[in-house]
Amino acid sequence: MQCDVLVVGAGIAGLTLALKLATQRPEANIIVLTKTDDSESNTKYAQGGVAAVWDKNDSVESHIADTLDAGAGLCDEDIVRIVVTEGPERVREIIDWGARFDKHGDDFDLGREGGHSENRILHYKDLTGWEMLRALLEQVKQHPSIQLLEHHFAIEIITQHHLGQWINRVTPGIECYGVYALNKENNHIDAILAKTTVMAAGGIGQVYQNTTNPIIATGDGIAMMYRANGRVANMEFVQFHPTAFYDPTHGTPDFLVSEAVRGYGAILKGYDGEQFMQHYDKRESLAPRDIVARAIDNEMKVHGVEHMYLDCRHLDKEGFVKHFPTIYDHCRSRGIDPMDDMIPVVPACHYACGGISTDEDGRSSIKNLYACGEVTCTGLHGANRLASNSLLEAMVFAHRIFLAIDDEFDQLQTPPQVPAWDAEGTTKPNEMVLITQSRKEVKAIMSSYVGIVRSNVRLERALDRLHLMYVETEELYAETTISPQLCELRNMITVSYLITKGAAMRRESRGLHYTTDYLDKLDRVVNTWM
């Protein structure tokens, strides 16, 4: 199978890019891969909204300042300026494509979230990501040049290594020719060749026990990039959302109680019903996520309890239900009426600020391979993502990649023929018991040792355990037939190693990385490249 442009991932980043290319280049052959169905992605679960300078009382400089402040000194200011400046136009585009955002009269009802100094969050109730994805899919399906392949699992990036040429992490000129993908309907592995490939495969949340990410978020794009000797950066910065609905059964994904609820006026409280955030930050319940998550984690440990509370009882019921119908209905389904009861909440893995390193046009370190969305490390988020900047980043970089590909489209080279997938020796049936148990072990290791608060001894223990799991899983991979579950396990182990190794390399506490062995922030800014 061959195409002009291959997009791995069907979230807001991948679909925005595919739609723009198909509109500008109707002659192009564009394939979009998704390992489940076309409506399942991290985008779907983004509740809060998309941040953009929209109100006349707001300013680009204010949004930039808020982003830099949240990023704890590690943001690339040039990238921040690009995203914030270009963001409003990208939002206008998705509105033109049919996305609906809540209004107050004739004006958009702009919300405010932690870390923002102004009301600048456009939202659709508490289903913003779902609504944006709906609008994009409706547009994408109208373009005959876009082939949306559901239930296709990208296994590896194809490089000249597969042509028998030896390459390593320092070899210049690594080239991407597409991916090997497993068709989950017939279990056949095909080489999908492309002149240009875009990695938009989403996040890594499933490496932790508590996560707001869907079950598909196993870090596939980042793991494939690392195995292809591409550059990955700042993986230690994993954002935990402070307020996931506490579920003692550890169901996945954890239900997200949006940060917009605190922006609306909800207050964090402890088991005694008293506020506690004033002891941690002057912004109290509206402090950035890393501060709030650590505060909740600390309160839970100090008091020996499994969750804290979010108090919405003082809020207007009609307004709350109008803004947060999904949250209200979920709480009621679990026996909690937010107007009468405090909502039990716990921090949960939510967003990866590190990932595939890209430049201002979304180019990775591998030729003919771009990346956009949560799978990347663009420099926007630094050490901590400002709330609702992620959907904006995805759209801005999808647009910039579109411009770069369109500019060079006529010069794109047809990739060479590559060998078929080599399955020799992989004849044993899948050991699903081993795979399932190992997946649980990865999640337990990461949650226990590489969570919100870290230490040298915890990280050393995690690396030891992960190395053993890596050896066991690679032996399994070499001998058994390929399955999506086994591939996801490999990717989860790889991503867990990258997070843990990055954390061990960073000898300071900065943003989302907090270690009891190095409480201070270094005077110099350091990126962790791998």
DSSP collapsed to 3 states, 186-216: CCEEEEEEEEEEEECCCCCHHHCCCECCCCC
Q: Which two tokens stand for residue 153?
A: 């699992």
- pLDDT tier at 246 (50, 70, 90 boundaries)? very high
Residue-wise pLDDT for 420-433, tens only, equals 998 776 677 778 89
pLDDT at 43: 62
289 annotated active-site:
yes
As its CATH architecture, domain 247-347 has Alpha-Beta Complex (3.90)
- Predicted confidence (pLDDT) per residue in 478-499, tens digit: 988 889 999 999 999 999 999 9
Q: Does the structure show a pLDDT above 80 at 170?
A: no
Q: What is the DSSP string of 364-377?
A: -SSBTEEE-STTEE
Give 173's pLDDT tier (boundaries 50, 70, 90).
Answer: confident
**Higher-confidence residue: 90 or 161?**
90
d(CA 43, CA 191): 27
User: How high is the mean pLDDT of the chain?
Assistant: 92
Q: What are the boundaries of each domain within the chain? A: 2-236+353-411, 247-347
Cα–Cα distance for residue pair 288/71, rounded to 1 Å: 10
Measured distance CA(141)–CA(32) in Å, rounded: 11
Give me the pLDDT at residue 45, please: 62
The hierarchical CATH code for the domain 2-236+353-411 is: 3.50.50.60
Q: Whole-angstrom Cα distance, residue 495 to residue 349? A: 14
Of the chain, the percentage scoring pLDDT greater than 90 comes to 79
pLDDT value of residue 42: 57
Predicted pLDDT of residue 493 = 98
Residue 185 has pLDDT above 70, yes or no: yes
Average pLDDT over residues 197-205: 96
What pLDDT was estimated at residue 35? 92
Q: State pLDDT tens for residues 11-52.
A: 999 999 999 999 999 999 999 999 987 556 556 566 668 999
Check 262, 289, 458, 506 and give the catalytic one: 289
Percent of residues, the chain, with pLDDT higher than 70: 96
- Which pLDDT score, from 0 to 100, does residue 423 have? 76
413 has pLDDT over 70: yes
